Every structure is written in structure tokens, then in C-alpha cells.
Copies of this chain bind each other. A is one copy, B any other.
Amino acid sequence: MVLLDGKKLSEHILAGLKTEVAAMKKKIRLGVVVIGTDPVIEKFVAQKKKAAEEIGIDVRIYRFDEKVTTNELRKRIAELVHEPHNTGVIIQLPLPGHINKQYILNAIPPEKDVDVLSGRAIGSFIVGKSTVMPPVAGAIKTLLEEYKITYQNKHIAILGAGNLVGRPVALWLLQEGVTFSVITEETGHPEQLLQKADIVVSGIGKPHFVTGDMLKDGVIAIDAGTSESSGKLVGDIDPVSVAKQASHLTPVPGGVGPVTVAMLLKNLVTLAARKK
């Protein structure tokens, strides 16, 4: 089983971006909206901040109390997205349950939406009008290309239909005209479709949910799900259990995650370059 080294790939992408950023002679800043003080969220924010600053991109963090209302938050975001110093803005997810998530995400105009999560950015992406793609989809595409795995003629199964993994990956494959299946958690027997897939992308956030017996021999297993288990980052796919079936696996940590951060910053640089 080959492990796809996302850490190494992300370092390569970031090195390229660093050169680009230096050549642009333009201040680039990422605005990050953080609600509450969850330690897992803080860890993700810290990773993005570190990667950005290493390549010469400023990060400004906007913190809100977890009791903030949807309306207050939307109002503040509408202001900060128009702040000229913010080249791009992201809302760190997940948001507290009382917040209308999509309404908040829609406050980011497409030209600053590096996560491609607003309705307008998604719409542009679907019709092929966007210059950026959802970071997780970009990460998976780049990982597959790096390891010379052609996916266009394969059957790809996506486990989960959430807006951070399942949905953007499905939209990407739909746009590319690739054959794929979306398997939601409501599906009684997910293994029946998973076993038909040449490539499996998982994004449900259930620790080691996917085991070897659910997959076909030679499968390429892409783990885009992360959860915390006793303070450690754990993926959806059980690496020990799938070692016999999978020809390739993205580890957690060090697989899809770091490449997704690199693609987020790549989007930011792309949007910065287009800015007048």
C-alpha cells in the first residue's frame, strides 16, 4: 500500500506560492472569522496562519463570542469583506448550531471567497466560470495527479454529502463529467456501493468507519474526514484494516489536510492576482 504524502506535496505547493507572492509585490491578507474558542478549531486556524505567514501572506483573525447572533455576525462579515486589506476571507467551520451557516457563508463575495462556499462562488464553479475550485476538491485532484493516478475513467465513491467534503467533491466530479456515487449516512448498506468503486473519498468525520471489507481490492482510498479521538486527529478510514485492499491511501494526519490548506492559499493568490 502506497501512502500519498500530502505533507510533502503541500510543502512543494507552498514553496511555489512563496515565489509567486514575492514576485507579485502586493500585500496579500487572509481574513479569518473564528467564533468561540474550541481547541480543535484553534488548531486548524493555527495551521492556516502558519502556512500563510511562511509564504508571505498576512493573516488577520476576527474573533466573535460563541453567543453572537446570525444577524450580528452577518452584519460584521459584510463590513470586513469590504475592508480592502482583506484579499480573501474565510469563516472557520463548524459554526455554533444556532447560527444560519449558509446565510453567513453567502456574505462573502465570490472575488474574496477562497473556500468557495457561498452560493455565488459555488454557482460559478459549477458552470465552469470560476478561477478557483473548492480547496478539498483541488487537494484531491492534485494528490491524484501527483501520484499519476488517472481518475477520469474511474468510478469514484464519495462517502458523505456535507458542505466541506462530499458536496464540493461531487460538484467537481459532476463538472468534470466523471462517473461517481454519493453515499450518504442514511444509506443502509454503504459497502454495496463502496465495493464497486475504484477510488473512495470519505468525508463523514466518523473515526475509522471505513474498514477493508467495505472496499474492493486495489482501491485508492482518500481520507478527507477528520475527527478528534483522545486528543489525536483521526481519519474516517481505518489504515490497518484497509492495508490489504487499498493500493493507495492518504494518511491522517499528513494526507488531504495539509494539501487542502495549500490549495486554500493557492486560491487566495489566484484571487489576489486578479484583483485590480
Binding site for B on A (CB under 8 A): 102, 105-106, 118-124, 126-129, 152-153, 155, 161, 167, 170-171, 173-174, 177-184, 186-188, 192-193, 196
Contacts and interface: CB of A to CB of B under 8 A. Distances in A.
B161 A177 contact: yes
Contact of A179 (B121, B171, B193): B193
B129 A126 contact: no
Contacts of A128: 102
Contacts of A102: 127-129
A167 B184 CA distance: 18
Contacts of A173: 182
A6 to B, nearest CB: 26
Contacts of A124: 119, 123
13 contacts: A102-B128, A118-B123, A119-B126, A119-B127, A123-B123, A126-B167, A152-B186, A153-B188, A155-B187, A155-B193, A179-B184, A181-B181, A196-B196
Given A126-B126, A127-B106, A127-B119, A193 B170 contact: no
Contacts of A119: 120, 123-124, 126-127, 129
